[in-house]
Structures are given as structure tokens and as C-alpha cells.
Structure 1
């Protein structure tokens, strides 16, 4: 027998009730108070709207929609948000001035944040990871904007470079951030990033960074402070003898899953951790094989053009209307078979170092521990990804230098709060910024307007993450 069912209809009578995301505001207010940020920021503005309330609002917006400063002004100027933050209505240019205040006072602010963080959290270890990235800068007015190696894969755009220092595993909290011109190399940026945090590091702390910043001067800087370092090295001709004599049968098996073998080379002041990886060698050889075939195909295309006396294909030409150039070219394919051409190409790009890599340190570690410690540096890449794509400090628009510094600093503080949540609550230690941010956004406050003018507040959409975080935090005014 068929039974007809009708979906129940719910009344949809319009009302004045308002629903706002509240989880992010609660979390920001809690950590703002815990780290004594009112004292840190309050001294930088005495007139007009309260700087601390504006910053709580901006950081809360960073952890919600976070589209732009203009949209932040619209979000914050909602009557309900103004009431929660105890703010008066304001023009969006106030937010730009707020960023400029942060930027002008960035050194003092970051120093105060470090002092507060390390006084409240008694970190047992202060080993750190250092790394650098670039962020695209839209516009040409800022002096910080320069062309350089783009990690965002936009070499056509001006950029700035950003350095981050992070307390390494198992703490994984960013403790410093530096901003430099877009053409500054990692090796040049290193002193700024290291010097910013070194006063908070315990003697003998381990500084981990990659080979892009590995220079004699930077290592000397670390050693003068009686710190330890671990970095990677570029292989060169001086390592060829080691590679030639390397025998996996006599080397130590470091990683059985990836077939990594290693030897330690101990010198008076440094230790080299020399590794050979079968899987890495396979990947590198496959990549070079693709390169060989690509070069052979390109040479064949050009050879065909020569034979048919045609114009050189556009992809091989300089594509600039302002440049005139006469091409004269020939290939070696007339003299070589495909097999001979491949062998020639292989000899030019295969050096015999495939599968080998080397770490360098002034700390005596096991081969396994040195590799594990260096691999853990990847956690800072997760911070970069979070800053760029989840906290969303990019894209950076045409602002003054101080505004750019301020925007980066604001994003750093938002990331610091997220990282502290993971550190404080074991249950979310391995949850991404994306999920924590989404959970905080989902926690809402519904403001129900009763007939007698009284407002009734109703919290909704609790889940495992936001209920854990806000259960120990304050209440709405």
C-alpha cells in the first residue's frame, strides 16, 4: 500500500533576529587577554577609537570571512558586532591607519609579544626552524616591492620576502616574522630573522634552516651566540670522491622504507651527514630522462625548420615587440643519431650525484636523528601555507610600507593564536588552520529581539573543536 507523505512546512515569518559568528571573537578576546596585548598595543594610540578593540575586531575578521580591509570595515560596522566589541561606528580609513600604527611600531610590538609569550609559556626547549618565502605585491608604489624569485609562481609581479621563525616540534609555534624587499635572498634575510628571536633562545638551542641561507657568515653568527645549527649543503666537485667511494653495503641503513643509507664525516668543527637514497635517485633520474626527451624533441623541431627553411616557432623566440633580433641557429642532429643525441644530453645533465644529499651541523647527532630533525623543518611550510591561504595575508595591495608591515603583523598574530590553540588543546593538535577557523566561524550567537525590547542571546552550532576552545573563555558583554 502506498502512503502519501507531505513534508512538514515551517513558518517563515520575517523577524528582527540577528545571527553573527561569535567563536572567532571569543577565541581572539581570550588570547588577547592571556598574552596581555592590551598593555602591548595600548601605548601606541591614546586618542580616538580604542586601538585594542579595533585590533580584536580585525583579528576576529581574519579568522572569519577575511576578504579585504574594506570588507572588514563593513563587517565590523554591523550594529551587533559593534555592540559585542563595545565600539562606535567608524570609517574604514580608521582600519588603514590602524595598520600603519602597527607597521610604524613593528619592532617594539614584536619584541613585546616575544617577552609576553615566553613569560607566560615556559617552553622547555627553544630549538627553532627558520625559513623564508615571498608574497606577491599588487601595485608599484611600495619601495618594498621588487622582482625576485617568486615562490607564488608569479615572476611577472613585484613581491616582498617574509621570514618566519618557529619553535620546532613538538611545540610548532611561530615566534617571529620579518619583512624585506622582494629581491632579498634567503642568505641576506637570515640575520634579520635570527636576530629577532635569538635573545629568547636558551644556550645551545638548535637552529634549523635550508641551504639557501647556508653561508659562512650566517653560521658564524650562530656559533658566536653559542648555539647549534643544522642545515643542508650543496654538493660540489669536492664531494665526488665521497660519492665515488660510497657503498650502501658498508653504510648505515637510516630509513629502510625509502632505502636511505648514510655515513658521518666528522671534522674538528663540523659534522657532515652524508646520505644516499635509492628512491630519490629514481625520481631524479626519471625527471632528467624527461628533460632529455624534451630537449631532443625541441632540437628535432628546430632541425625540421632548418630543412624546410621556415620561420623559427614562436616558443623558441624572444617574444617582445620592442626587441628586434636576427636568428642564426643549427643543431647537431645532422651528425648524430637519436641514440647518440640522447647520450650527449645525458652526459650534460647527469652528474652522478643523483640520490645523494648532505646535512651539516656542529651538533653530534645520529644519522637517523639528523635526518628526522631536518625533515621536521617542513612544519614551517605548513605555517606559510596557513598564512597565505587560510589566514590569507595575500594578496597585498598598493599600500604604504607601514601598512604592508602592519598587515603582515596582523596575519602573524592571527596565526600565533591558532598555533597556541593547537598547543593548549591536545585534542586539536593535528587539526589544520582551515578546520579550526571553520569551527570557530560555525559557532554563532543569535540575538532574539523580544516584544518588550529585551535582547535574548542564544549560542548555536557547537562542535567538538569550538566547544573545547570556548568552554574556558569569557562570556559576551
Structure 2
């Protein structure tokens, strides 16, 4: 008799078993319980379905599939999900109303999370990092939507700006979110963002942020509150003169092998930390060489077309039938060699600032410490990248301001949960958001129905990462 080695698809029989991803739901419930968010949300809605349960559902779904509210409702209506969360059948409009309610009460919800977390770790917190970005918006254009400098790759679209306050290392947990119109300057946004967290920070805390918000009124306000700031300085002509006089003998050597040097200049109200990095210089010069090579190739292509009398390429035209324009182009390549052309391009592109940057602070510290604190700012840049790509807060599609606030609040809570996971769970501390959420999403609840109608519920697809995460939240015993 021949032994069967292949699975015969013809023998597959349908059954009534159902499997749903459950890991992110379990974790979201534990997160909301730990920080008292469910009780807070339930107090905001006294009739109908618990707002806390609806919020847990939407945050968990954001961590998993992160599609639309409509798709979230479809997921919620799956019987195992409804039974697990104790939800009755409801219309998708219930979720839209829940989003509006959450958006309307965003300050209360985020403030509650921040105060609860700070009570747990407050005495250990010293530094706060601030960052702002833009998100493209599609909807009926509430007042929040405006055209401004786009950091979301959509310069022609309406956008909103979002600011996050995040605790510095080792916590790296976001504790505040501000949302303002898409044309808001970082300096103006910083005043509001900082104003919402300064009451919970101790004296001497360090505020770290980028050059866009380093305005005098911002810096003066931080110092008047008896706190410190560290930011990148916007360079000017006097800095260019200083860079032109750069000398390895006059600047302090930080790392001889990497060619890192620093010049510290103290003023009555601040200290400037000027840095030069050989690695940064090489990186920026490679970028310039690549850029000028591309410009030379473009100019040579145009020169060739002009000499052959070819039709002008579309990228040089105005693509609008209502606009008439006579465009005449010529290049400077006639009579000069490629070497001369590259020299002209290089003189234009090289500024003398290559390899240099400057940090400014009201605190006098060692240059290595100042640079290390500022470099740690990248944790919030990674957080925004995670919120945009993995959590999926962009693009924003909502038709009211509270809807915009609600959608962003759900994304904020989802990201806060991931950050708390990393803090609580050592194996997840250096793991990307996508791998963390995927690991939890793979944890599956299967409802197996027997011939007698009885149900058996089975959790499957455990792995070392989701086991560690669930144990850190008390969902699994250590044995």
C-alpha cells in the first residue's frame, strides 16, 4: 500500500470554524485598563454602547489592518470579535460618532494618559523632545486644512500639521499631541506644544527640538520657566566666516579617527557648539557630486536637442491650454569642456558649510554630551515615520474638525501603545513597529464548532516576541 505524502485538495471539506486575529485586541484592552482610559471614555458617553470598547476596537484595528472606519466596522461585526469584546450588533455610524466624540474630548483623553504615565515615571524624567510634521488632507476642508510647506510629499494638497511631545530616552513615549492648520510655522506650533507639557516637567529639564522652532520668544519662554533648551542653530554669514577659518589646531578634537572637532563659544544667554565631521563632509560632498553630475547630463541632453532641432521635451513646457508662453532655452555648454562645466556647477553648489553644523543651548556642557542629547532626537523622527507608514495616520479623510482630531487621536494612542510595549518588553525595545504589530496580529483566536454545536476556542500562532509582550502586560503567566 502506498503511503500518502501530499495533501489532497479534493478532500477538503467546509466547516463552521472561524479564525480572527486577536493579539492586538488583547493588548489594547490591557493598555486601556492599565492607564484607566476605558473608565474615562465610558464616562463621556452614558447611553448606548460603551465608548471605551469602541475606542479599544478602533485602536486595535489601527495596529493591525489600519484600513478605514468602514472596514473596522466589518471586522467588529465578526462574531468572535463581538463576543470577545461584549459588543452587540451596531451600525457603522456608531463608530463615526465615536470618532467625533473622541476628537471633541482629545485634550482630556491625552491629558489623562500623560498624567497617569508621568505619575508612574515622573521623578525619572528629565528631557523632552518636540517635533512637527504635515499630513495631507482629503475632505471638505475644515479650518484646519491649509496649503503650506509640505513635509508629506504632497506640496499641492491641503494639509494639517501635527506636533508631538515625546519623552527622551530611555522612555521614548509620546505624551502630548497638538494639531494646527497646515500653514502653521514650527515656532508658533512650538509655543502651543511646549505650553501643554511644561506643567509636568521639573526644573532643569532639557527641551530638544529642531531649528525651525528656535525663535527668540520660544527660547526665552523656556529659560524663564527655569528649564533648558538644546536646538540646532540656523546658520548665517557670520557662521560662514567662522567655518572659513576652521583649524584642527584651534578646534577641540572629539574623535581623531572620524575627524570630529568642536568649537564652543559662550555668550551671556547661550552657548554655541560648532561641529565639524569628516564623515558628514564626505557624505555631503558625494551628494553634491551626484547632483552636479545629474545637472550636467540634463544640460547636455538639452544642448543635443537644440542642435538637432528636436521638439522641446514636455518637462520644459507649460502644460495648460489657457496659458500661452514663448520659451527660449540655451545652455552654456558651447565652447567649454565638461571639466569647466563641472567647475561652474561645483562653485554654485558648494557653500562652505559642508561637514559643519551648530547646536545652541542655554546650558554649558561638554560638546560630546550636547551632541549626544541632540542625536537622540531621532527617536521622535522614527516615531513619526512609524505613525505615517505603520500605524497609517495618513492621508486624513474626515469631514469635520472633530473627525480629524478623532482619527489622529486613535493613531496617537496606537503609537503610544507601541512605545509602551518597547518600554515594558526588552525583546521589543529595538524592534520596528511593523514587526511588533505583525507579531501580535498573527496571534489568532479560532472558534471550532463541533457536530453537537459546542464551541471550542483556541489561541494559536504564539511566537517568542508576542509571548514576551503579553507577559509584560500580565496577559500570560511566567510559567
Structure 1 equivalent of residue 129 of structure 2: 129
Output aligned runs, 1:55-454, within 5 Å: 55-256=55-256, 258-301=258-301, 303=303, 312-333=312-333, 338-454=338-454
Structure 1 equivalent of residue 465 of structure 2: 465
Structure 2 equivalent of residue 43 of structure 1: 43
C-alpha deviation, 1:345, in angstroms: 3.3
Give the distance between the partners of 2:467 and 2:351, measured in 1 at CA: 57
Give the distance between the partners of 1:199 and 1:307, measured in 2 at CA: 68
Give the distance between the partners of 2:314 and 2:450, measured in 1 at CA: 71
Give the distance between the partners of 1:192 and 1:36, measured in 2 at CA: 26
Give the distance between the partners of 2:289 and 2:41, measured in 1 at CA: 57
Q: Are positions 1:22 and 2:22 aligned together?
A: yes
Write the deviation string for residues 163-214 of structure 1: whole angstroms up to 9, x where unpaired.
1111011111111111121222322221122112221111111111111111
User: Per the alignment, in what secondary structure is the counterpart of residue 357 of structure 1?
Assistant: strand
Contact 1:167 1:174 in 2 (8 A): yes
How has the CA–CA distance of structure 1 residues 453 and 123 changed in structure 2, closer, same or farther, with 3 Å as cutoff?
A: farther
Give the distance between the partners of 1:36 and 1:398, measured in 2 at CA: 28
Give the distance between the partners of 2:257 and 2:406, measured in 1 at CA: 45
- Structure 1: gaps of 5 or more residues: none
How has the CA–CA distance of structure 1 residues 19 and 146 changed in structure 2, closer, same or farther, with 3 Å as cutoff?
A: same
Contact 1:40 1:113 in 2 (8 A): no
Q: After alignment, is 184-193 or 52-61 more displaced?
A: 184-193
Give the distance between the partners of 1:321 and 1:45, measured in 2 at CA: 55
Q: After alignment, is 254-263 or 36-45 more displaced?
A: 254-263
User: Per the alignment, in what secondary structure is the counterpart of residue 70 of structure 1?
Assistant: helix
Write the deviation string for residues 420-461 of structure 1: whole angstroms up to 9, x where unpaired.
111112232112211211111111222223455443222222
How has the CA–CA distance of structure 1 residues 183 and 322 changed in structure 2, closer, same or farther, with 3 Å as cutoff?
A: farther
Contact 1:272 1:361 in 2 (8 A): yes
User: Per the alignment, in what secondary structure is the counterpart of residue 184 of structure 1?
Assistant: coil
TM-score, normalised with respect to structure 2: 0.91
How has the CA–CA distance of structure 1 residues 19 and 330 changed in structure 2, closer, same or farther, with 3 Å as cutoff?
A: closer
Give the distance between the partners of 1:27 and 1:34, measured in 2 at CA: 10
C-alpha deviation, 1:17, in angstroms: 2.2
Q: Are positions 1:7 and 2:8 aligned together?
A: no
- Structure 2: gaps of 5 or more residues: none
How has the CA–CA distance of structure 1 residues 253 and 407 changed in structure 2, closer, same or farther, with 3 Å as cutoff?
A: same
Contact 2:37 2:109 in 1 (8 A): no
Q: CA RMSD in A?
A: 2.4
C-alpha deviation, 1:326, in angstroms: 2.5
Contact 2:206 2:228 in 1 (8 A): yes
Contact 1:136 1:160 in 2 (8 A): yes
C-alpha deviation, 1:354, in angstroms: 1.5
Task: Tell me the number of residue pairs that the alignment of Structure 1 and Structure 2 aligns.
Answer: 473
Contact 1:35 1:120 in 2 (8 A): no
